[in-house]
Structure 1
Amino acid sequence: MKKTIFLIFLLLNVNIYSQEKKCSDYKIGKFTYTNPLYKNWKVLRNETEQIETDKVNKIELRASIDWVTDCEYILTYTKFNNSENHPIVGQKINVKIIKVRDESVICESEGLGAKLELEMVLEKEK
Structure 2
Amino acid sequence: MRKTIFMLTILCGISGFGQELTCEDFKEGTFKTEVSEPIKIKWEIIRTQNEQTEIIKEIPEEYKDLGYPSDPHYVKIEWIDDCSYRATYDDSKSKLTESQKFINSIGGITTEVIKIEGNCFYYKSIMKVEEHEQVMEGKMCKE
TM-score range, shorter chain: 0.7 to 0.9
Calculate percent identity across the aligned residue pairs.
26
Question: How many residues are aligned here?
Answer: 120
Residue in 1 aligned with 2:41? 38
Whether 2:95 is the aligned partner of 1:109: answer no
Structure 2 Cα separation of the partners of residues 34 and 61 of structure 1 = 15
Structure 2 Cα separation of the partners of residues 121 and 3 of structure 1 = 39
- Per-residue displacement from partner, 1:24-63 (whole Å, max 9, x unpaired)? 1100111111545122x11111001011111565232111
Q: CA deviation at 1:101?
A: 1.3
Structure 2 Cα separation of the partners of residues 83 and 115 of structure 1 = 22
Residue in 2 aligned with 1:5? 6
TM-score, with structure 1 as normaliser: 0.81
Task: Write out aligned runs for 1:1-126 (5 A).
Answer: 1-17=2-18, 19-35=19-35, 37-39=40-42, 41-54=43-56, 58-79=70-91, 83-84=96-97, 86-89=98-101, 90-91=104-105, 92-111=108-127, 114-123=134-143
Structure 1: tracts of 5 or more residues without a match? none
CA RMSD after TM alignment: 2.3
The amino acid that maps onto 2:120 is: S
TM-score, with structure 2 as normaliser: 0.72
Q: CA deviation at 1:8?
A: 1.3
Structure in which a larger fraction of residues adopt helix: 2
Structure 2: tracts of 5 or more residues without a match? 59-63, 65-69
Structure 1 Cα separation of the partners of residues 57 and 119 of structure 2 = 23
Structure 2 Cα separation of the partners of residues 66 and 3 of structure 1 = 49
Structure 2 Cα separation of the partners of residues 112 and 44 of structure 1 = 25
